[in-house]
């Protein structure tokens, strides 16, 4: 169905619905302001059509959810959530993405912005030397085959047991940094791609950014998170690198071969799926969780690099993990549907889990205030710390946005934002950026993204993720 033909009804402020029709099993719920929705409805954007297609998946419950940062992706829209029944449902690699467990972690330091100011370039250069960036191999910690197999099975537990993490690091990771992965379900090609990449940033929109806490909106929650105005924090955004990408590719191909009749019946072949009861689905979940474990270990290795840099340059040995969230994953969770609590497999594609206070999955230190939610903007704008909102379970299966969301393609961004001018404008704002290539810099220009302030405003207004603090960039390294 063409975008212009999709009916879209306003349910309440910032909530719209595409009613169930034809082969849809549930309606689509779109959580966006009028301005964000207008971007989703542009004639060359398939965001709403993809959300509508997701509503046809067997076993889907309540709604196909589209979050405020929603934009076009592979099969599923980025910023999409789909929860399926554990017995009748399916798993779709397009609902997780090629960068399995791409995620964000926030580190707090013992420095203030005033203490760091004037040394941004030195710090960025040091971090750039420690953390490999861009496409290809390179790692902060050396691993052999046995090490990698251990990481795929153990995630953060392997990192702790081998001296690369603390108990506190595990306690402040979603799922404690480990899911039941099986390295035997990861192809040899994927395994080889990950072998020398533990502690590497990658390319594209991945980054390591040094920030200052510019404003605190919720003092008690910020205090629980250990952050305060003027403090230096560090955000790491990366995922499962080549191993995750290859794993997704492998299983998309396997599903297409296993279910050839399904491909032609789908509204979009990129929605290819496997019934959860089938061996193909079980193998994919085990491989996907292994890749997720790799991603947690990868971000942990970069955390160790940040700790080294702050200790060597500033004598700061107090760099601690606030939280680590994954935003490309499918996991079993308990949710209420039609008044009955049940176990669902929740696909989050470019979406952050945002559980409110009281949920048992939230670490003890944060259970009274809610799960930390980390939403980066771009290298020239604000990023935000939120906490799980009181209406998140009701509206979005406990989810909110994962970032600003792209507004321009990478090709268009390179045309619109010459890298030289962009560097100058960022430095004029006091932001030092170290990038491997001019192309990456242009692709990730602030103007290539939606208005992150508006994304956060909608999330906060809806009560799916509530504002805690705003962060401003000081130095940024990119692949």
- Give CA torsion, residues 375, 107, 113, 203, to 10 deg: -60
The answer to whether 404 touches 69, Cβ cutoff 8 Å, is yes
By C-alpha distance, which of 166, 267, 214, 247 is closest to 431?
A: 214
* Cα–Cα distance, 253 to 190 (Å, whole number): 14
402 part of the active site? yes
Q: Which two structure tokens, joined as six digits, stand for 193? A: 């791609």
Residue 468 near residue 221 (C-beta atoms within 8 A): yes
Q: Does an H or E element contain 470, and which?
A: strand 465-478
Report the distance separating Cα 356 and Cα 367, nearest Å: 8
Q: What share of the chain is helix, strand, coil (3-state, %, to 5)?
A: 40, 25, 35
Q: Are 18 and 51 in contact (CB under 8 A)?
A: yes
User: How many Cβ atoms are within 10 Å of 461's Cβ, its own excluded?
Assistant: 16
For residues 159 and 177, give the distance between their C-alpha atoms in angstroms, rounded to a whole number: 10
* Whole-number Å distance between alpha carbons of 388 and 376: 16
Q: Of the residues 71, 206, 245, 402, which is catalytic? A: 402
End-to-end Cα, the chain, rounded Å: 38
301 phi/psi in degrees, rounded to 5: -60, -40
Rounded Cα–Cα distance for residues 132 and 200 (Å) = 5
Contacts with 168 (C-beta within 8 Å, 6 or more apart), sequence order: 320, 321
d(Cα 165, Cα 158) in Å, to the nearest integer? 9
Q: Cite the active site residues.
A: 402
């Amino acid at each position: 169905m063409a975008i212009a033909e999709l009916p879209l009804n306003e349910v309440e402020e910032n909530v719209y619905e595409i009613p169930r029709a034809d082969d849809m099993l549930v309606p689509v719920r779109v959580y966006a302001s009028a301005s964000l929705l207008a971007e989703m409805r542009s004639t060359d954007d398939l965001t709403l059509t993809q959300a509508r297609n997701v509503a046809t998946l067997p076993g889907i419950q309540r709604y196909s959810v589209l979050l405020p940062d929603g934009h076009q992706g592979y099969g599923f829209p980025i910023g999409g959530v789909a929860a399926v029944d554990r017995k009748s449902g399916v798993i779709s690699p397009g609902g997780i993405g090629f960068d399995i467990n791409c995620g964000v972690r926030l580190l707090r330091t013992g420095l203030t912005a005033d203490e760091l100011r004037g040394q941004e370039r030195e710090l960025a250069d040091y971090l750039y030397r420690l953390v490999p960036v861009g496409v290809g191999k390179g790692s902060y910690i050396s691993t052999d085959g046995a090490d990698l197999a251990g990481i795929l099975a153990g995630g953060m537990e392997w990192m702790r047991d081998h001296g690369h993490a603390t108990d506190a690091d595990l306690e402040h990771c979603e799922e404690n940094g480990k899911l039941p992965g099986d390295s035997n379900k990861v192809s040899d090609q994927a395994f080889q791609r990950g072998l020398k990449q533990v502690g590497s940033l990658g390319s594209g929109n991945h980054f390591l950014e040094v920030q200052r806490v510019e404003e605190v909106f919720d003092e008690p929650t910020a205090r629980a998170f250990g952050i305060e105005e003027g403090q230096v924090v560090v955000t790491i955004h990366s995922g499962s690198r080549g191993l995750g990408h290859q794993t997704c590719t492998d299983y998309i191909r396997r599903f297409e071969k296993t279910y050839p009749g399904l491909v032609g019946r789908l509204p979009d072949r990129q929605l290819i799926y496997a019934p959860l009861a089938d061996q193909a689905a079980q193998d994919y979940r085990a491989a996907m969780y292994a890749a997720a474990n790799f991603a947690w270990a990868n971000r942990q290795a970069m955390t160790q690099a940040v700790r080294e840099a702050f200790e060597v340059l500033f004598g700061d040995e107090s760099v601690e993990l606030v939280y680590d969230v994954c935003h490309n994953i499918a996991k079993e969770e308990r949710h209420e549907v039609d008044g009955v609590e049940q176990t669902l497999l929740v696909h989050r594609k470019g979406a952050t889990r945002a559980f409110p206070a009281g949920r048992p999955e939230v670490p003890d230190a944060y259970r009274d205030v809610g799960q930390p939610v980390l939403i980066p903007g771009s290298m020239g704008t604000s990023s935000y710390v939120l906490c799980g909102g009181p209406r998140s379970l009701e509206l979005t299966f406990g989810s909110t946005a994962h970032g600003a969301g792209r507004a321009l393609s990478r090709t268009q961004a390179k045309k619109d934002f010459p890298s030289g001018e962009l560097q100058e404008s960022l430095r004029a704002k006091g932001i030092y950026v170290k990038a491997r290539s001019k192309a990456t810099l242009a692709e990730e220009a602030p103007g290539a993204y939606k208005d992150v302030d508006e994304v956060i405003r909608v999330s906060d207004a809806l009560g799916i993720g509530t504002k805690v603090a705003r962060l401003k960039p000081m130095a940024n390294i990119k692949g």
